[in-house]
């Protein structure tokens, strides 16, 4: 007797195998290739990434909630100095590039070496939500240097009202870096 599985049960089994692989791994780590094999990438998978991904884990059209990040600011909490700020001009659509659908999805920072010695930083993010309400909105940021995780931020915004503009500032401690790591980060940033 042979059994026929639906594509969704096959996908679930594949995800279960990957989860079992992770659970059996003493470090519990995943890499981008593992996640891209899954039909659904969940927060617990992202939290287990061992290194930065080369690509985005979802396509722009997966943004069914119309979430658009419109402003980002980083400030030194001790001096209140703004270290970085970028904002999308109001009313301007997201740039469309048929050759690169990811245009406008990233920001490259360039800071002085002194930035790495900061202790407390405030990060303000502003985003808008489209016509569909967002329940349990969560944003995970993982920062790595080469393949070493430096800091993970797991922000829970909760419910977001449709057609709303939302602003939130998170205040956090920077990881304490030794002089050798700082020197490496300055001389070999990528």
Distance CA 137, CA 131 (A): 15
Predicted confidence (pLDDT) per residue in 167-183, tens digit: 999 998 988 888 999 99
Q: Show me where the domains of the chain are located.
A: 1-57, 62-187
Predicted confidence (pLDDT) per residue in 10-33, tens digit: 445 555 555 555 443 435 699 999
Predicted confidence (pLDDT) per residue in 115-170, tens digit: 988 999 999 999 999 999 999 999 998 988 888 888 898 999 899 999 999 999 99
Distance CA 32, CA 24 (A): 18
* Topology of domain 62-187, CATH: Coagulation Factor XIII; Chain A, domain 1 (2.70.50)
pTM: 0.76
Pick from 12, 20, 22, 24: which is nearest to 47 by CA? 22
- Which H/E stretch holds residue 157? strand 148-160
Name the CA radius of gyration of the chain, rounded. Answer: 19
> Cβ distance 45 to 137 under 8 Å?
no
pLDDT of residue 17: 54
């Amino acid at each position: 007797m042979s059994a026929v599985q639906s594509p969704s049960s096959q996908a679930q089994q594949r995800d279960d195998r990957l989860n079992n692989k992770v659970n059996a791994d003493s470090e519990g780590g995943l890499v981008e290739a593992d996640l891209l094999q899954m039909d659904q990438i969940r927060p617990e998978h992202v939290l287990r990434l061992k290194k930065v991904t080369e690509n985005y884990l979802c396509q722009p059209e997966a943004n069914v909630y119309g979430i658009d990040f419109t402003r980002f600011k980083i400030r030194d909490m001790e001096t209140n100095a703004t270290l970085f700020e970028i904002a999308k001009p109001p009313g301007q659509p997201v740039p469309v590039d048929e050759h690169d659908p990811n245009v406008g999805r990233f920001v490259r920072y360039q800071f002085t070496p002194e930035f790495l010695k900061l202790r407390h930083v405030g990060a303000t993010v502003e985003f808008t939500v489209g016509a569909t309400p967002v329940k349990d909105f969560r944003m995970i940021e993982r920062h790595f240097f080469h393949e070493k995780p430096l800091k993970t931020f797991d922000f829970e915004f909760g419910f977001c009202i449709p057609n709303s503009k939302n602003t939130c500032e998170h205040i956090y401690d920077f990881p304490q870096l030794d002089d050798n790591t700082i020197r490496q980060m300055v001389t070999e940033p990528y």
